[in-house]
Amino acid sequence: MLSTEQKKTHSGQDYLEKEILEQGERSPNQSLFPLTAKINNHNCLEIGGCDLRTLIKQFGSPLYVLDEATLRSACRQYREAFKRHYQGPSQVIYASKAWSCLAIASIVASEGLGFDVVSGGELYTTLKTLEKMGRTSEQIAQQIYFHGNNKSLAELKLAIEVNCTIVVDNWFELETLAQLGNQTASMSIPILVRLAPGIECHTHEYIRTGHLDSKFGFDLYQLDTVFKYISQQSCFDCRGLHAHIGSQIFEEQPHQDLGEVMVELLQKAQSYELVLQELNIGGGLGIRYMKDDNPPSIEQWVKGVSRSVMKACDSYQFPYPKLIAEPGRSLVGSACVTGYTIGSRKEIPQLRTYIAVDGGMSDNPRPITYKSLYCLVIANRMLEPCTETVTIAGKHCESGDILIKNTQLPQTQPGDILVVMGTGAYNYSMASNYNRLPRPAAVLVKDGEANLVIKRETYDDLIRQDHLPERLLS
Ligand code: LLP
């Protein structure tokens, strides 16, 4: 904890300098700022060589600013760590639910990662990206895993057409797929079976997905029946098992335990003459949102998981399966910041000072949904000491639309640029048009260049899907 004196005097600069000094030792998920963050000669925050104030002038406000170097570095750290620590084959797939768009998908694909998609929309985005990148249909098929607890018939048919691996979640889906598969004699549908392994982890209740009371996956007690059913259907090419135990996890033990449990189950499938060669351990590694957060590095996480899987395989004399991890947050979370422009101020004596920005719960619904905490700086006042405690309010007509409560800031003026860190994961992807706010633009920054990757919505975009029946016109 900072002392009161430290709180008064620390500036954006102090904490950025400290961050930058330590950055060399950190993996992107342990860094509060994107890896290229700097304070430039104008004392302004710069990311990817681009001045935040200039970016906002050019592209408008609010603005998502995505640092290519941080995203690429996280992708590489995952891939290289698996190569270093796992002695079998491995694949890292990006959980696109964290942020699915053409530019991110293409960066991730160019780093050699595959994709976890959970809807026809995410599948379509990924397909379009890979097609534009000139990937062959075989390459595309190998790169995509399709998840979801209630895939529609149309989604299943699209997945079969693409020939990607379908992560089967429940009986309804398994039987629907068998029906589709058995319509054609030679059909072979690649599948993984999703399990609810019953491993708890300490994270926010709403984002736990792996414990027994979960809407996802087959319960362990059903596994024998599932294996038996699959082994009797010639249309299935069952490749392995999948589980995901939760998100924003700092502990290493749950994933290591999961590795062990899963190997035992892979081995169990042998009695049904199923040769399962893939083990998908899910995602979930946390990122550092606040100074006191202390997630393990990507390297450390991969090392722990790899060791536990290899150890379990050795003890069962089971060949090392293809080990798949599907991180989302720890790939893209720390790579992005959101820049807002400060507007009104309301002071309630002896109670609170509110400073309002030009976005809020529509571009970042995480604080109101999960009480998530974020760090921020004022991009154009990086050298000024923090002298007041304020609460950052969004502009939506909702009292709970508070981005950050009781934070230390320098004295600000309307027009200043407030920057919230760590907004790459589950911000744009969960954004809405609440109060008919157009969704912000996103720019990709690298070596002083900024490219628009998502256009700002216009008012016309907001009414594009509206339809006014003729009879309402009079
Ligand atoms: N695989 C599966 C099957 C998942 O359900 C998830 C996330 C992931 C991988 C990626 O997990 P990650 O590495 O990003 O932790 N909206 C919430 C997070 C929901 C996570 C849902 N599943 C939030 O904003 O915190």
For the entire predicted model, the pTM comes to: 0.95
Omega within 30 of 0 (cis) for the link into 190: no
Q: Which two tokens stand for residue 149?
A: 């607890």
Does an H or E element contain 324, and which? Answer: strand 322-325
**Which residue has 């699209």 as its token pair?**
158
Decide: 366 in ligand 1 pocket, CB within 6 A.
yes
Instruction: Identify the bridge partners of residue 346 per DSSP, sorted by sequence position.
Output: 354
Specify the residue with its C-alpha closest to ligand 1, atom 5. Answer: 244
Residue 233 to residue 56: CA distance in whole angstroms: 57
Determine whether the shortest distance from the Cβ of 329 to ligand 1 is under 6 A. yes
- Comparing CA positions, the residue from 155, 143, 137, 89 lying closest to residue 114 is 143
Evaluate: CB of 217 within 6 angstroms of ligand 1: no
| Distance from residue 204's CA to the centre of ligand 1 (Å) | 12
From the alpha carbon of 429, which atom of ligand 1 is closest?
A: 16
* Residue owning the nearest CA to atom 24 of ligand 1: 426
Calculate how far, in angstroms, residue 123's C-alpha sits from the geometric centre of ligand 1.
16
**Which residue is catalytic, options 50, 313, 386, 397?**
397
Residue pair 427/338 in contact by the 8 Å Cβ criterion: yes
Going by alpha carbons, the residue nearest to atom 19 of ligand 1 is 207
Between CA 71 and CA 69 the distance in angstroms is: 6
What is residue 84's DSSP assignment? H
Intra-chain end-to-end CA distance of the chain, in Å: 64
335 SS3 class: helix
Q: Is the C-beta atom of 297 inside 6 A of ligand 1?
A: no
Handedness of CA 436, 363, 342, 351 (dihedral sign): positive
Task: Count Cβ atoms within 10 A of the Cβ of residue 227 and give its class: 0-12 exposed, 13-18 middle, 19 or more buried.
Answer: buried
Q: Which of 244, 245, 372 to mutate to test the pocket of ligand 1 (most atoms within 8 A of CB)?
A: 244
CA distance 126 to 106: 8
Which CATH code for domain 4-67+335-457? 2.40.37.10
Are the C-beta atoms of 276 and 241 separated by less than 8 Å?
A: yes
- Is 336 catalytic? The answer is no
* pLDDT of 2: 39
SS3 state of residue 45: strand
Domain ranges of the chain: 4-67+335-457, 69-332
Cα(158) to ligand 1 centroid in Å equals 23
CB of residue 284 inside a 6 A radius of ligand 1: yes
Look at residues 57, 60, 63, 72 and name the one whose alpha carbon lies nearest to residue 27. 72
| Ligand 1 pocket, residue 244 CB under 6 Å | yes
User: What does the alpha-carbon distance between residue 69 and residue 38 come to, in Å, rounded to a whole number?
Assistant: 14
Write the DSSP string, 139-173.
Answer: HHHHHEEE--SS--HHHHHHHHHHTPEEEE-SHHH
3-state helix, strand, coil in the chain (%, to 5): 40, 25, 40
Answer yes or no: CATH 3.20.20.10 is held by domain 69-332.
yes
Q: How many whole angstroms from its chain centre is CA 202?
A: 18
Task: Please answer whether residues 151 and 122 qualify as being in contact, where contact means their C-beta atoms are separated by less than 8 angstroms.
Answer: no
DSSP reduced 3-state for 242: strand
Tell me if 422 CB under 6 Å of ligand 1.
no
- Provide the Cα torsion 348, 353, 357, 363; round to 10°: -100
For ligand 1, atom 16: residue with the closest CA: 426
- Strand 336-348 and strand 63-67: the pairing is antiparallel
Cα(453) to ligand 1 centroid in Å equals 23
Tell me, using a 6 A CB cutoff, whether residue 116 lines ligand 1: yes
List per-residue pLDDT tens for the chain, 474 residues long. Answer: 334 444 445 677 677 767 766 766 679 999 999 999 999 999 999 999 999 999 999 999 999 999 999 999 999 999 999 999 999 999 999 999 999 999 999 999 999 999 999 999 999 999 999 999 999 999 999 999 999 999 999 999 999 999 999 999 999 999 999 999 988 878 899 999 999 988 877 665 444 455 568 899 999 999 999 999 999 999 999 999 999 999 999 999 999 999 999 999 999 999 999 999 999 999 999 999 999 999 999 999 999 999 999 999 999 999 999 999 999 999 999 999 999 999 999 999 999 999 999 999 999 999 999 999 999 999 999 999 999 999 999 999 999 999 999 999 999 999 999 999 999 999 999 999 999 999 999 999 999 999 999 999 999 999 999 999 999 998
Cα 98 to ligand 1 centroid, rounded to whole Å: 7
> Residue 328 Cα, ligand 1 centroid: separation in angstroms?
6
- Provide the pLDDT for residue 178: 96
The best mutation among 27, 96, 97, 115 to test binding of ligand 1, ranked by most ligand atoms within 8 Å of the C-beta, falls on 97
Three-state DSSP at 332 gives: helix
Using alpha carbons only, give the angle 40, 72, 308 rounded to the nearest 5 degrees.
130
Alpha-carbon span 104 to 170, nearest angstrom: 30
Is the beta carbon of 327 within 6 A of some atom in ligand 1?
yes
Pairwise CA distance, residues 461 & 184, whole Å: 43
**Cα-trace Rg, the chain:** 24
Burial of 5 (0-12, 13-18, 19+ CB in 10 A): exposed
| 426 close to ligand 1 (CB < 6 Angstrom) | yes
326 lines ligand 1 (CB under 6 A): yes
Cα-based distances in Å from 19 to 10, 36, 177: 13, 11, 50
Are the C-beta atoms of 86 and 325 separated by less than 8 Å?
no
Which among 265, 117, 250 has a CA at the least distance from the CA of 196?
265
Residue type, 105: A
Backbone angles phi, psi at 451, to 5 degrees: -115, 135
Q: What is the number of the ligand 1 atom nearest to the C-alpha of 247?
A: 15
